[in-house]
Amino acid sequence: MEVKKIGIITAGGDCPGLNAVIRAVVKKAVNDAGVQAVGFLDGFRGMVLDHHIPLNYDAVSNILNVGGTILGSSNRDNPFAFYYDDTQKDPVDESKKALETYERHGLSALVCIGGDGTLSMSHEFSKLGLNIVGVPKTIDNDVQGTDQTFGFDSAVTTACKAIDKIRTTAESHHRAMVVELMGRTAGWLALHAGVAAGGDIILLPEIPFSAEGVCAAVKRRSEKGKRYSIICVAEGAVRAGGDHVIQEGLNKRTGVVRLGGIGKQVADLIEENTGIEARTTVLGHIQRGGNPTPFDRILATRYGAHAARLVLDGVFGVTVCLRGGSIEHFPLEKVANNPRRVSQDSDLVAVARSVGTYLGE
């Protein structure tokens, strides 16, 4: 097929490296085939409402190292269950409008940059006949089929630096310091940041934790003369037999509850049961912000260039992925609604245990 025009969207939660992907897709398409590109604003909402901007060399210049996304993003706008605003009572299926936008612009393909939710929606559009190439993005690193998503390394770096700073005050005041990190259903961020920063206890969504075990681990450290402890907790971690700690109820537009508060719960348990003073720090959206690390700039550039290559070669219904050191592609249907979670027998879990980190069992 002759490729004339490529559409690009960035959807879901933001993360460092999105602009680097946009830049690589556009420059590769222009340099190799003189293909035009258009960016739709605020994720799939831009497809429904046809909010767009042209993407040419000038538009993507000097954005490689810039965090966020020049296209805007949204994790609230599902074209198959669409809300025009928060006053709307029930969602409507506006997927047809997104299809009309695709046709109106004469697109040869749509590059969808996002995480599990975005790529799952992209698969639905692929089934409706759109030529889709996905690019896996998320600080959670939970997209199936790829060794690593871009944005993850930047988030781990940010979290690790924060924990390093917290460690010095924990040591000075002889406290147990609980750091709550993002990670609703997958604990990759908490695991990697915790191991990198020398966390003494790491609690993940995949391993329900024993409150007694956590308190006993802090006590053991104290009895050995360790006068402080660092506890890294993913926001989706749960006590054995318990439920998620919820900050806000079900959001009708996202279809999910907002988690938050498990860190304080763990700190309270430690203080009540050990007598050791405990404090909580919630890193929150700082993990998503800032400039991408050099690793993520390179990975995002490789992903974007490969996505453009797949479009030019007529390969659709796939997402680019990292396998070993190679950039390859993986079927969207195997990604959709199938997040990748931490396995209890993963290498890094074994390494964490081997150096004495308690994982809550």
Angle at 66 between CA 323 and CA 133, to 5 degrees: 40
Nearest to 24 by CA among 292, 286, 317, 289: 292
At which residue do the structure tokens 């249907």 appear?
333
Q: Which residue in the list 14, 42, 140, 153 is annotated as catalytic? A: 140
Q: Are 274 and 215 a contacting pair, CB within 8 Å?
A: yes
Q: Cα(152)–Cα(287) distance, rounded to whole angstroms?
A: 9
Pairing relation of β-strands 36-40 and 5-10? parallel
Rounded to whole angstroms, how far apart are CA atoms 264 and 270?
10
* 90-110 CB burial, b ≥16 within 10 A, e <16: ebeebbebbbebbeebebbbb
Report yes or no: 20 and 301 within 8 Å, Cβ to Cβ: yes
CA-closest candidate to residue 237, choices 203, 267, 212 = 203
* Strand order, beta sheet including 36-40: 52-54, 36-40, 5-10, 109-114, 132-136, 318-323, 326-331
Judge residue 311's burial from the number of C-beta atoms within 10 Å of its C-beta, 0-12 exposed, 13-18 middle, 19 or more buried. Answer: buried
The tokens describing 234, both together, are 């993913």
Residue 140 is a catalytic residue: yes
One-character DSSP codes across 160-173: HHHHHHHHHHHHHH
Query: Which residues are annotated as catalytic?
Result: 140
